[in-house]
Structure 1
Amino acid sequence: MSPSRRPHPARFQAFDLLATLVAVIDPAGVVLFANAALEDAIGLSWRSIEGTSLQQYFADGATLRHALQGARSNEFAALRYDAQLKRHGSGERLPVHVIVAQTEAPGELVVELLPLEQQARQEREERLAEQAKANKELFRNLAHEVKNPLGGIRGAAQLLEMEIDDRALHEYTQVIIHESDRLQLLVDRLLAPHRHQPKVEDVNIHEVCERVRALVLAEFPRGLKVVRDYDTSIPDFRGDREQLIQAVLNIVHNAAQALAARMAQGDAEIVLRTRVLRQVTFGKQRYRLALELHVIDNGPGVPDSIKDRVFAPLVSGRDGGSGLGLTLAQTFVQQHHGLIELESQPGRTDFRILIPLP
């Protein structure tokens, strides 16, 4: 709902920019203003909500009534409690945390409603942000410890190659040189998100998915099916194409490695599913449109012991795994103002990437 259509003071219109649900009411509980997020949650326009009693939109309106009585008697500056918000016409109920606060204007109260699921997501996102900050320091230290020995190994291999006359033995020195270069590139890649700004260009998410699909099927040509389930109406957006390819590739490659047993049976499957979400909130912001990309596999699932730490560096559920792929994927997606979420159980693991769209 466009704020410009609302015949209200600017101090009310600013609430439309918030991702949380906000109503301004009088002491009797009559709605003076409802923001766009509250409209979406209730399922009614602001014209239908304003002028009505806010109490009627709660499964238990008595608690709100008692809160308003306390506000009228100046018993508190702010009151908090949990409740259930009713959605018009569907019978659905949304668990919310309610904050009732007085304003400076006489006879006005602000009621802020925080969906409990959203609150839990915000807490997860804050933990991920703190984790990303710790990762940055870890990668810096890791680079310092790895780069110098790698340079010495590569240099020694080059000198050795110069001393060897047997050309057949050069194959072994070339292995050392190439692997040293590969590890050097890995270190540089880990540091790149923290050193440089993304290379911004128009990105088509399905070109990204097709590139990843081709790479994974080339590496795992037998027993694996990669299913396309695309919403072709998704618009291009501004981003770093190579970073996004790497992020999706890391997730899909991890899924393929987890499907080794099913590949042997010939029924391993990874689904790449794209959708558009409307009026979605993540990263403490509300977006009109967002890309939703699912990477779903039918493997054994992420072990419970690491499920909450799967994006942390050096955490891996696979023997020999570096534990860096998902960390890097999360970092690249966060640089696009998005995030990655995980739902996993035996037989179905779903990595969900969310990125704002224009």
Structure 2
Amino acid sequence: MHAPSSDNLLTLLGTGLALAGMDGRVLWINPALGEALDVGPRSAVGQELVTLMREPNLAGHLDRVRVEGRGFHLRSVTLGLARGRELLADLLLQPLDEGQVLVEVHPLSTDMGSGSTPLSATLRGFAHEVKNPLAGLRGAAQLLQRRVRDDDLRALAAMVIAEADRLAALADGLLRHGGAARIVPVNVHELLERLEQLVLAEPDPLHLRHDYDPSLPDTLGDGDRLLQVLINLARNAREAGAAHLLLRTRVEHGARLGERTVRAALRIDVVDDGPGVADEVRDSLFQPLVSGRPDGSGLGLALSREIALEHGGDLRYVSRPGETVFSLYLPMERAHD
């Protein structure tokens, strides 16, 4: 890979990028990383990347990438910035041709870029990418709805349109500055009924059962975002190889949510009979870009837990072969209301 030109798309990315040569010296950095390190992209060329980032262990990692010919993800690395500041970041090192290494810098603090977390930045990029396909999907479903005569097919087309609209609204929320949840009274059983309709509409659907507490009152939340959590959990179960799904609602008294204990929390359990969570990802399952499947994006559970936390709740799981339970906790009173 040659150093990108000034009009290359890589120079426009908000993610910090650097290209290091065989000798560990900088061949190119993009403006985002140059701004964070307080160095001009041109003046950085020729400097040792280790010195520029003030991270002595980086040299050994660069050598390892070249020798083994595979990428490495370094978590929670402290980089030295200008004027004595520090940046806590994840680094992704990717080997390229001729001994070059591409370094991506994903901040874990607010010192670089917009102040968003790496997860939120990833989600906003994902939201931007899906908006155009969603518009095409919605248009195709509208055409289908107008042309078919069968009532069942028209109902399925209407479901596709409704889901496309919901996902577009979620994408807009992630792209808007702030993107705050729309907190209104939500009937969780109505959300679960919508989830059942979506699951049963899929080819070879899961066998569904439910065990609801009919006395549960409405909770406060953003219905679209909470539905997205439930959809992610159901689809994860299906993709993991589950055949049966149990949806259960309960009240849990004296629940511990983060740093506080609430008098009562609404708990939604999504129980599947799949093989369980793999041992190697148990401790990092809710982190961005971590997946138990080779083809998984690692975004669904990270997004789901972020939504649970923004509602003052939590997302937890227990798992063994044949039974995995993901539990969404929502406080029945909100501390900031």
TM-score normalised by length of structure 2:
0.50
Q: Which has the higher contact order (CA 8 A, sep 6+)?
A: 1
Structure holding more helix per residue = 1
Bigger-Rg structure (1/2): 1
TM-score normalised by length of structure 1:
0.47
